[in-house]
Amino acid sequence: MKFLLSLYADAAGHEAFVTAARQAGELVGGHALADPSLSAVVRVVDGVPAVTEGPYAGAGEHVTGQYVVDCESRERALELAALLPGGVEVRPLMDPAGLEM
Amino acid sequence: MDASATERLGDLLRELAPQVLGVLMRRYGGFEECEDAVQEALLAAASQWPAEGVPDSPRAWLITVASRRLVDHVRSEQARRRREVAAAVREAPDADLAPAPGEEGPGDRDDTLTLLFLCCHPALTPASQVALTLRAVSGLTTAEIARAFLVPEATMAPRISRAKQRIKAAGASFELPPPGERADRLDAVLHTLYLIFNEGYTASSGPDLHRGELTAEAIRLTRLVHRSLPDDGEVAGLLALMLLTEARRPARTGPDGGLVPLAEQDRGLWDAALAEEGTALVTAAMSASPLGPYQLQAAIAALHVQAPRAEDTDWEQIRILYGILGRIAPNPMVTLNHAIAVAMTRGPRAGLDLLESLDDDPRMARHHRLHAVRAHLQDLAGEHVAARENYRLAARLTTSLPEQRYLRQKAEAHGEAG
């Protein structure tokens, strides 16, 4: 199962997480995000793209970085997230496969 | 080389991989080093044989190349630090490397079984057991395994090497587990094969063709285990379950890639030969062996494929079998299926009552299937408004895109009905 780990704290102190997830073969990828003031939101209105400077969600807390892990269970994903600083949102990714009902 | 020749070459290499590894293990020991050497020999074969032709004795060729790679590795190791194992390898007479062309090694079948036991060692997590089995027993490359599990090769490689290190650290050797441990270890092997099958079975068509090949590989490996242990009812039961499930594959997805539920599948698309083989296997196993969970699930799958139309399904028999399964291997998913069978025989309310026993089960708290089944039974009971709400809830909770699409369609269908 794949999970997206979204971080809200400033990017530092990830070594324990990266080492654990990489060695176990659970780390799929990750990236640090630039400041949301550098973002732009694009909406196409009547066929014309309209660009608004700034983040989508306005003021408030912003994601500073993300990791994707592939692990056996939600419990394991929570365990890995606990190695990261600050509050970390652990959210499952959708799977392209499914079972018949 | 055309596609079918490439496929035949792949089949041949997969068949030979565990045999060659078994020979190296018995001769030199050292699972990690031997496995790496075999993998290199397989890669060499895959790149050389299409151009140069398959050698007269492919098995001997692979053993020779893998042994040389192993010797080379050990020598380069030795250059850095002297190791005792190097001496042993150096002294191995070359004449011993390869059997006569066409000769099958005496222990090949048992080697595959022994390797499976090793790869499904209890020191490993299920995911590591799956990855290592596909590499060491099936001879797949790390890149192929990574593709099948939709992760980068850089993610899969440490998973496999850590698994090999754990086996080394656990002091596991290349021999069958002692009789006292055999049953538990066989359970682990069967569970791993079941997981490989499921990984392929849940894959939708289209972008995930690589995952679909996993079902074929799981069936092939389970056949090998069945050949080694023909009297084990659960091995036969698992093989039957896989064949009977695989038989329905062509009907599982519609032309648009959407999931088609069992009751609505075009039964003419089911693979009759697989269904027949699976049914015969499970029937024979159940009459000769103690009952087990795989046999019961296979027997239920057999009852489904025997019904010419959905309304011909022998739900009474299925209800009884789920009742037994729930007693010998209790599990919330069994209870869900039992509830459906109860609803089909004693009415939807009786099924809904049985579902209530799962409401307090923490394993089902976030599970969409409980709500999907409840919605289905409420539908049968004529409670369409409640059904719609539960279909919506199930659609929110599933992490599968095709399941979500199906559940949303069910919820919307009720928007019109009432």
Q: Per residue in B219-239, pLDDT tens?
A: 999 999 999 999 999 999 999
Rounded Cα–Cα distance for residues B170 and B399 (Å): 36
pTM, to two decimals: 0.86
Assess contact for B319 and B345: CB atoms under 8 A. Answer: yes
Instruction: Write down the pLDDT at residue B99.
Output: 47
Confidence tier at B95 by pLDDT (50, 70, 90):
very low
Tell me how crowded residue B211 is: count the other CB atoms within 10 A of its CB: 21
Q: Facing residues of B259 across strands? A: B253
Residue in A2, A24, A72 nearest the CB of B126: A72
Taking each helix axis as running N to C, give the angle between helix B126-136 and helix B179-201, from 0 to 180 degrees, rounded to the nearest 10.
Answer: 90
Query: At B315, phi and psi to the nearest 5?
Result: -65, -30
Question: What residue numbers bound the domain in which A5 lies?
Answer: 1-35+63-93
Region A63-92: what's the mean pLDDT? 95
Which residue has better confidence, B204 or A49? A49
pLDDT of B210 strictly over 70: no
Confidence tier at B209 by pLDDT (50, 70, 90):
very low
Residue of B nearest to A75 (CA): B363
Rounded Cα–Cα distance for residues A38 and B133 (Å): 47
Q: What is the CATH number of the domain that holds A31?
A: 3.30.70.1060
Shortest distance between the Cα of B259 and any Cα of chain A, in A, equals 6
State both tokens at B86: 């190097």
State both tokens at B262: 């069992």
Chain B residue numbers touching A78 (CB-CB < 8 A): none
Q: Is residue A49 part of a domain?
A: no
Which residue has better confidence, B190 or B253? B190
Q: Is residue A24 part of a domain?
A: yes
Rounded Cα–Cα distance for residues A99 and B15 (Å): 30
Tell me how crowded residue B392 is: count the other CB atoms within 10 A of its CB: 19
Rounded Cα–Cα distance for residues B109 and B21 (Å): 12
Element (H, E) at B61: helix B58-80
Which residue has better confidence, B58 or B4? B58
State both tokens at B105: 């090694």
Confidence tier at B241 by pLDDT (50, 70, 90):
very high
Q: Could you say which residues from 194 to 213 on chain B have a Cβ atom under 8 Å away from some Cβ of chain A?
A: 201-204, 207-208, 211
Which residue has better confidence, B136 or A96? B136
Q: Is residue A51 part of a domain?
A: no
Q: How many CA atoms lie within 13 A of B136 on its CB side?
A: 32
* Sign of the CA dihedral with B337 first, then B340, B345, and B346 last: positive
Confidence tier at B97 by pLDDT (50, 70, 90):
very low
Shortest distance between the Cα of B112 and any Cα of chain A, in A, equals 26
Q: Answer whether A98 sits within 8 Å of B402, measured CB to CB.
A: yes
Contacts (Cβ under 8 Å, ≥6 apart) of B5 = B50
Confidence tier at B81 by pLDDT (50, 70, 90):
low
- CA-nearest of A12, A18, A16 to A67 is A18
Taking each helix axis as running N to C, give the angle between helix B315-328 and helix B332-346, from 0 to 180 degrees, rounded to the nearest 10.
Answer: 150
Taking each helix axis as running N to C, give the angle between helix B332-346 and helix B368-380, from 0 to 180 degrees, rounded to the nearest 10.
Answer: 0
pLDDT of B264 strictly over 50: yes
Assess contact for B355 and B377: CB atoms under 8 A. Answer: yes
Q: Give yes or no for A90 touching B (CB within 8 A).
A: no
Across all residues in chain A, what is the average pLDDT?
Answer: 92
Chain B residue numbers touching A72 (CB-CB < 8 A): 125-127
pLDDT of B418 strictly over 90: no
Q: Is residue A46 part of a domain?
A: no
Contacts (Cβ under 8 Å, ≥6 apart) of B407 = B368, B372, B391, B392, B394, B395, B398
Instruction: Write down the pLDDT at residue B147.
Output: 87
State the complex-level ipTM: 0.88
Cα B324 to the chain's mean position, in Å? Answer: 24
Q: Could you tell me what percent of chain B has a pLDDT over 70?
A: 89
Instruction: Write down the pLDDT at residue A17.
Output: 97
Q: How many CA atoms lie within 13 A of A2 on its CB side?
A: 19
Domain count, chain A: 1
Chain A residue numbers touching B158 (CB-CB < 8 A): 22-25
pLDDT of A49 strictly over 80: yes
What is the Cα gyration radius of chain B?
A: 24
**How many residues are given for chain B?**
418
Alpha helices in B81-152 (DSSP H): 84-91, 108-119, 126-136, 142-148
Element (H, E) at B48: helix B31-52
- CA-nearest of B271, B312, B321 to B294 is B321
Rounded Cα–Cα distance for residues B145 and B137 (Å): 12
Q: Which of B134, B145, B149, B155 to mutate to test the interface with A (most CBs of A within 10 A)?
A: B155
Q: Give yes or no for A70 touching B (CB within 8 A).
A: yes
Rounded Cα–Cα distance for residues B44 and B153 (Å): 19
Q: Is B374 exposed, middle or buried (0-12, 13-18, 19+ CB in 10 A)?
A: buried
Q: Is residue A43 part of a domain?
A: no
Rounded Cα–Cα distance for residues B120 and B128 (Å): 8
Region B302-331: what's the mean pLDDT? 96
Q: Could you say which residues from 285 to 344 on chain B have a Cβ atom under 8 Å away from some Cβ of chain A?
A: none
Instruction: Write down the pLDDT at residue B411.
Output: 94
3-state helix, strand, coil in chain B (%, to 5): 75, 0, 25
Instruction: Write down the pLDDT at residue B211.
Output: 66
Rounded Cα–Cα distance for residues B417 and A31 (Å): 47
Q: Is residue A1 part of a domain?
A: yes
Highest averaged pLDDT of the listed ranges A30-34, B39-43, B236-240, B363-367: B236-240
State both tokens at A93: 């990714």
Assess contact for B372 and B407: CB atoms under 8 A. Answer: yes
